[in-house]
Amino acid sequence: MPKQTGFNLVELMITVSLMAILIAFASPTFRETILNNRLATQANELLSALSLARSEALKNNVAAVVCKSSDHTDCSQGSWHEGWIVFADINGNGTLDRGSGDCKQDEDCVLRVYDKLSGGNTLTFTNPDNPDFISFNARGLLRPSRPGTFVLCDSRGDAHARHIVLTPTGYTAVVEKQAGVSCP
């Protein structure tokens, strides 16, 4: 009869103890990774909204708007971190006018709706002239041409904040630190 081999109770307890120590060291690093990935994803969502609005303005030769919206149906008095809407501003009045939903008529149409940011993150727009919406004209330029910076923050504050810079030409970029701009 062959000899049976396996783990005894002492060996098993030592292995479990070593695993617990390794997990205790890895947990804070894993939390940082999750928070960093959440910020990167949310910054990319905002960039995609701005790119969508700009490309639709260029493609359809009409104004396009990105506005903050807490109820996801119109440009309301909510905060940017509660969500935003991208719409084609067919009549060029800067507000979302509900109509038939047909983008070729005289009424505006919603292109995409973005949900509230997860993780308790905040998003603010630092443009004193118009902090509520961004509008691109038919040439893809900001209308009016006032640049601004979005500040995306999580519970770690300024040290890990993402800054999405918007130039008068409609160019957007994510930067790690923007002078004079900080988390609320």
- What band does 106 get if pLDDT is binned at 50, 70 and 90? low
Is it true that domain 9-175 has CATH number 3.55.40.10? yes
Burial 90-117 (b: 16+ CB within 10 A, else e): beeebebeeeeeebeeebbbbbeebeeb
> Is 76 within 8 Å of 70 (Cβ atoms)?
yes
Note the helical H segments in the chain: 9-60
Q: Report the pLDDT value the prediction gives residue 101, as an integer from 0 to 100.
A: 53
CA atoms of 81 and 74, how far apart (whole Å): 15
Angle at Cα 28 formed by Cα 14 and Cα 176, nearest 5°?
Answer: 155
What are the residue boundaries of the structural domains of the chain, listed by start?
9-175
Q: Report the pLDDT value the prediction gives residue 117, as an integer from 0 to 100.
A: 92
44 pLDDT exceeds 90?
yes
pLDDT in tens, 45-61: 999 999 999 999 999 88
